[in-house]
Amino acid sequence: MKYYSFIPLRAGSKGLKNKNILKLNKKELYLYSVEQALRTSDKCFISTDIESILLRDFKSKISVFKRPNKLAGDKILMKDVILDFLSKTSQQNFKMILLQATSPLRSDEDIHNCKKLFDSGKYTMVMSVSKKNKASTKYGFVKGENFSPFFEEHLFNNRQNIPDVYGPNGAIYIFNASDFLKLRTFPNRNIGSYIIPIERSLDIDTIDDFKLAENHIIEDYWYIKYY
């Protein structure tokens, strides 16, 4: 099966207005992911409600799907956006790489390493993760006056005795499109993880995040333009 990349792009954003099409070092943010998709997969699919992208004359290996307004709100689940896209494609037997446009610092090598892990056949899904604050293991829910810890064994544990904690950074997810359709959600029975260093795990949501990305991005001029 071939690898196809999927890039979801929404017009609205509460944290940073129009962030997906803002110019990051003279190039619209989403194009970093599009170019990376073309370098690391066989084809790139975009789902969006952004008019300028829908009207753009993309060339070879890029297909754009219009996202319905009902799936463009800030509370919409990603699984519903993916299901909408898969319902519109003629091909559904492929390995899908979900790339968030707000993660421009991931490398091509990160994607290739995730593909190798998925191709091992050990996992139903592979996702990129990064190290998180250990203090999160002491968190919990409060209902009324009652506190329910996530992990009782770590609630009163010393920080030095708590194992490292990792969480998804939103940069890369890989799974079979057919599995997603069958389950109607992410195939999470057996998840493989690929660690991306924190310095490449930025997920842009604010103007400060955007400025931080500008300081890290190194423009590549050798890529082949497909648009």
Pairwise pLDDT comparison (216 vs 77), residue with the higher score: 77
Is pLDDT of 10 > 80? yes
pLDDT digits (tens, 9 = 90+) for 43-87: 999 999 999 999 998 877 999 999 998 998 888 899 999 999 999
The answer to whether residue 224 scores a pLDDT higher than 70 is no
CA distance 173 to 5: 10
Is it the case that residue 8 has pLDDT exceeding 90? yes
Token output for 96: 């899908």
Domains and CATH numbers, the chain: 3-132+166-216 (3.90.550.10)
**Cβ neighbour number for residue 40 with a 10 Å cutoff:** 21
pLDDT score, position 221: 40
Mean pLDDT of 28-56: 95
Confidence label for 161 from pLDDT (cuts 50, 70 and 90): confident
pLDDT of 89 above 90: no
| Contact indicator for 152, 136 with CB cutoff of 8 Å | no
Tell me what the mean pLDDT of segment 122-134 comes to.
95
What's the average model confidence in pLDDT over 11-34? 90
Query: What mean pLDDT do residues 106-114 have?
Result: 97
pLDDT attached to residue 64: 95
**Counting beta carbons within 10 angstroms of the beta carbon of residue 49, is it exposed (0 to 12), middle (13 to 18) or buried (19 or more)?**
middle
Under 8 Å CB-to-CB from 168, ≥6 apart: which residues? 127, 128, 129
Determine the average pLDDT of the residues in 130-148: 93
CA-to-CA distance for 141 and 201, rounded, in angstroms?
27
How far is it, in rounded angstroms, from Cα 213 to Cα 195? 19
Confidence of residue 218 (pLDDT cuts 50, 70, 90): low
Residue with tokens 């892990």: 117
